[in-house]
Amino acid sequence: MIRIKYIHAGVTRMAVAQILPDGELEFVGKSEVTPGIGDTVAAVTTAAGIKPCGGCKKRQAALNKATPGWLSRILLRSSQLVDRLKARVWKR
């Protein structure tokens, strides 16, 4: 099994696939959307009551393309940091 990162319709996605004997890829399960900064900005502005326009959608796609998967990397690093801190606390 391998993890594949790809962009579809301006959205970065992660999927799990296996390589078949003939070299083709067979996707296993559903792909997961990896949010970029554009998705985060869109969620915050929508929550603040700002309605998106055509320019907003273009900016969202451009930001997502420039920063794919940044949120998952930050969350992974922060969880690794928390694990290290827990290990240090429990050693004392």
The CA dihedral of 20, 31, 36, 46, to the nearest 10 degrees, is 160
Local confidence band at 30 (pLDDT 50, 70, 90 cut-offs): low
Nearest residue to 26 via CA among 18, 34, 35: 18
Q: Give me the residue spans of the domains in the chain.
A: 2-71
pLDDT one-digit tens code per residue, 48-63: 898 888 898 899 888 8
Nearest residue to 60 via CA among 46, 48, 76: 46
In this predicted structure, what is the pLDDT of residue 20?
82
In this predicted structure, what is the pLDDT of residue 66?
81
Q: Which two tokens stand for residue 89?
A: 């606390």
CA dist., res. 77 & res. 34, Å (int)? 15
